[in-house]
Each structure stands twice: as C-alpha cells, then as structure tokens.
Amino acid sequence: MSRLAVRVAFIIGVALLGFGGTGFARASVAALEDLAGGAFVASGAPALLGPIDAAGRNGWRCVPERTAQTTQPGEAELPAAGAPAAGRP
C-alpha cells in the first residue's frame, strides 16, 4: 500500500471518528433534554369539594360553595406542595 493510501485511510478514519463522536454527543444531549422534559410536570387537579345537604347551597354557610368562591388560596382546598402530580387522583 502506498504512503498516500495510508494517509487517506488515516484521514478518513479520523473524520469518521470525529463525526461519530459528534453524533454520539448530540444523541446524549438530546437524550438528556428528553429526560429533563419529564421534570416539568404540572401539579395535581384540586381534590373534589365535599357533599352538600338537602338544604342546598345556602350561601356562605355552605362550605363547598364558600370554598369554590373564596379569593384566598389558603382557604380554597388547593393541593399542597408535594401532592401527587396531575392526572393522579
């Protein structure tokens, strides 16, 4: 084999390794990005408000109706930090 052929083969080999390495790195970054996408899951749905008796939703005395209406998150029976994620009851 001539020296030229050895050189060409060496250059092609280095190029292939370079392309392969870049491709591998790109694939790794993509896989990491995909994995990281699973980290952004919305919080859970609010738990159901409780039952109402036969008197009906009689104004502010009806606790579920009051809870549905309150302006304060702390009184609205919303999920707490660490509650199950969305889609899980």
Partner 1 sequence: MRRVTAIAALSCALFGGTAAAQPYSGVTPVPRTTDAAALHALASDREIGERIRLGIAALARAAWPAARDEFARALALHPPEPQGSTASYDLGIALTNAGDLDGAARAFEAAIALDRGFLAARANLVSVHLLRGDLAAARAAADAYVALAPDSARAAYARGIAALRAGDATTALADFRRLLARDPKYAVAHYDLALAEQRLGDYAAAERELRAALALVPAYARANIALGAVLLHEGNRADARAAFDAALRDTDDATLRTLATSLRDAIGR
Residues at the site binding partner 1, with contacts judged by CB under 8 A: 28, 31-33, 35-58, 62, 64-65, 67-83, 85-87, 89
* DSSP-derived 3-state class of residue 11: helix
Which one, 1 or 80, has the nearer CB to partner 1?
80
Which one, 5 or 39, has the nearer CB to partner 1?
39
Q: How far is the CB of 23 from partner 1 (least distance, A)?
A: 15
Which one, 4 or 33, has the nearer CB to partner 1?
33
Are the C-beta atoms of 78 and 43 separated by less than 8 Å? no
Q: How far is the CB of 28 from partner 1 (least distance, A)?
A: 6
Q: How far is the CB of 17 from partner 1 (least distance, A)?
A: 19
Cα separation, 30 vs 46, in Å, equals 34
